[in-house]
A and B are shown apart, each in its own frame.
Chain A
């Protein structure tokens, strides 16, 4: 009864390789046991791009297979279209007020609803000061293919924790979802390079929207342009460009 044999061994072999939709992995015979045998089940996670279908694991996005110990697998893919996912934080634009909810555009296929009670310190009497056109940094409470997505600006304990309306004196840009993940990755090299430049602030939504603010309009624009061009540059090119900016050439 080896847990590393069978499907997961095959998956581990393929880590770092490109997979395309339709590739599939089958649970090996040793991974299935009858209910009568009492074995403590081990927890494996198939992340984005992989889907379980019966006793098979099917790839549904093209990209590179990634692995995190102990048993987490996902497909690292490049895309620009955002699909709402529960728990992810995004930057949304308030487009309308409908009764006791706001309609928020987060760049997905439909608008999300955001209750006016889902802000820190908001009560029925004390409505949050959010206008149409404001930016909100919010988290998905409900996100599935059958229901309207719902956003909230508080966590489980009712704290804002950095979420809520924001966006005075900054610039909102759109980048690819891959760049967002590179920005937010632990020990991200883009973030280290940015830190060398000048004091600035970023709000990064998983939906590919990035809001930038620095102490002057010029600096804000520089950071925004740098981020947008980061998408298609190699590490060396990027470092070269950042160095030039630091020296004041741009």
Chain B
């Protein structure tokens, strides 16, 4: 090709299918060119070195008193004057842990323990069924069926006597 006096362009020579025919020298030169292009394309910011020192503690500037003094929300209502605001107060003001514990202890209950027990009394059977294993459940069902059969027997139609 070179004998023809026609020179192939660099970009063409760099292509994969042209690599086979190249001799070692031109290959090396191409690689070097490529490396130079890449390093030229790298650029740096010309900045003075400001952050030479790193502190063990990062110092943050805070301009507000609110986080420093744990200040509460600015709307206050006393003795249920504005129930909406009182709801907001309980929602937005972080409480001390001791107070929360107190709240739990004196929490009002709508349903007494006795009522709760009475209510669940009827559910004992079905709850038992829920937690029983499959085999046990089958046995339970059979028992139930027996009962039903008995009751059915009792309930047969009795022909009225003339």
Contacts and interface: CB of A to CB of B under 8 A. Distances in A.
A239 B69 CA distance: 24
B78 to A, nearest CB: 5
Chain A interface, DSSP helix/strand/loop, else mixed: mixed
B82 interface: yes
Interface of A: 1, 3, 8, 27, 30-35, 37, 39, 41-48, 50-52, 55, 57, 66, 68, 71-72, 74, 85-89, 137, 161-162, 181, 183-187, 191, 194-195, 197-206, 213-215
Interface of B: 51-82, 85, 88, 92-93, 96
B153 to A, nearest CB: 67
Closest 9 CB pairs of A and B: A199-B81, A199-B79, A47-B68, A184-B71, A202-B76, A204-B74, A41-B58, A42-B57, A44-B57
B66 A206 contact: yes
A185 B63 contact: no
A232 B147 CA distance: 85
| Residue of B53, B59, B69, B79 with most partner-chain A CB within 10 A | B59
6 contacts: A33-B54, A48-B64, A87-B66, A88-B65, A199-B77, A206-B74
Nearest to B86: A201
Contacts of A66: 68-69
A181 B64 CA distance: 11
Contacts of A215: 81
